Amino acid sequence: MLSRLKHKNIVEFIDHVSSKKSYYFVFELCKGGDLRSLLQQKGRLTEDEAQRIFKQLADALCVLNMQDIVHRDLKPANILLTADGQVKLADFGLAKFFHPKDGLLESKVGTPYYLAPEILEGSLYDSKADLWSVGIILF
Amino acid sequence: MLDDAPLDMTRHGGMESSVKQIGKVKIFTNKLLGQGATAIVYEGEYTCDSTRVNVSGGGTKPKKLRVAVKCISKQKVDEYGPKF
């Protein structure tokens, strides 16, 4: 999935190798850490900083949407930052291809604080669940 | 873009036991970047065979990139994979 996602705001997948016991996925290194750590360190972001990060996150989400991919685990810990502060969306471990004509999703996966209500309720959901998570992150 | 600066081995204290080589990837298991329920992410070095760089005295060698390496045990994939 990641190999077909090429965008400046999505972490670049480089290669994968495997050993007898494990799989190893190689990604570009983001030296700026993640948004969760940044928030813990700074307490809160300024409106300008939040706006800059949110715009890049929205761009990444737009690309996912165009490729019929639902991330399903959007949260600050999965938003990486490069050394110059560029946003890179990461961790596609729960992501799934989704197209409305194939039916809605039902797996209850993700991180509780950022989950859309329909997932928490165990109802069917679609790509709009990612949009809810982005709203929580912005808040 | 990817950082292709030379790897600073001194940061790893010469602890050879904490460096794992799997194919083209060398993982510094003492440089933990993150840990989740199903995966652990380490810093690593990736040998890029398709891109070669010139070396002093002539010749070329494969380019090396500093990367993040996400490790997932096959047991976890078997355990969770189909449920996703």
The pLDDT value recorded for residue A27 is 92
**Is the separation of the CB atoms in A28 and A12 below 8 Å?**
yes
Out of A22, A31, A91, whose CB is closest to B3?
A31
B17 pLDDT band, cuts 50/70/90, is low
User: How many beta carbons lie within 10 A of that of residue A81, not counting itself?
Assistant: 19
Bridge partners, A80 (sequence order): A34, A88
A106 pLDDT band, cuts 50/70/90, is confident
- Measuring CA to CA, how many Å separate B54 from each of A19, B8, B63, B64? 31, 19, 9, 12
Indicate if the pLDDT at residue B84 is higher than 70: no
Mean pLDDT of A59-79: 89
DSSP state letter for B38: S
- Write out residues 47-76 of B within 8 Å (CB-CB) of A: 65-75
Residue of A2 and A71 predicted with greater confidence: A71
Whether pTM > 0.90 for this model: the answer is no
**Which residues of chain A are within 8 Å of residue B83 when distances are taken between CB atoms?**
107
Inter-chain CB proximity A31 and B22 less than 8 Å: no
Q: Is position A73 annotated as part of the catalytic site?
A: yes
Out of B2, B25, B65, whose CB is closest to A24?
B25
Task: Tell me the pLDDT tens digit for each residue of A23-43.
Answer: 899 999 998 889 999 999 988
Q: Which of A137, A122, A115, A105 is nearest to A35 (CA)?
A: A137
Mean pLDDT of A84-112: 81
Residue of A11, A26, A38 to mutate when probing chain B, most B C-beta within 10 A: A26
Q: How far apart are the first and last CA of chain A?
A: 29
Indicate if the pLDDT at residue B71 is higher than 80: yes
User: How many beta carbons lie within 10 A of that of residue A3, not counting itself?
Assistant: 10
Report the percentage of chain A scoring pLDDT > 90: 35
Inter-chain CB proximity A30 and B68 less than 8 Å: yes
User: How many beta carbons lie within 10 A of that of residue A23, not counting itself?
Assistant: 17
**Minimal Cα distance from A110: which residue of B?**
B84
Residue of B11, B42, B46, B47 to mutate when probing chain A, most A C-beta within 10 A: B46
The mean pLDDT value of chain B amounts to 75
Indicate if the pLDDT at residue B8 is higher than 50: no
**Which position has the token pair 């873009």?**
B1
User: How many beta carbons lie within 10 A of that of residue A138, not counting itself?
Assistant: 12
- Residue A133, classed as helix, strand or coil, is helix
How far B26 CA lies from chain A's nearest CA (Å)?
Answer: 10
**Which residues of chain A are within 8 Å of residue B34 when distances are taken between CB atoms?**
34, 77
Assembly ipTM: 0.77
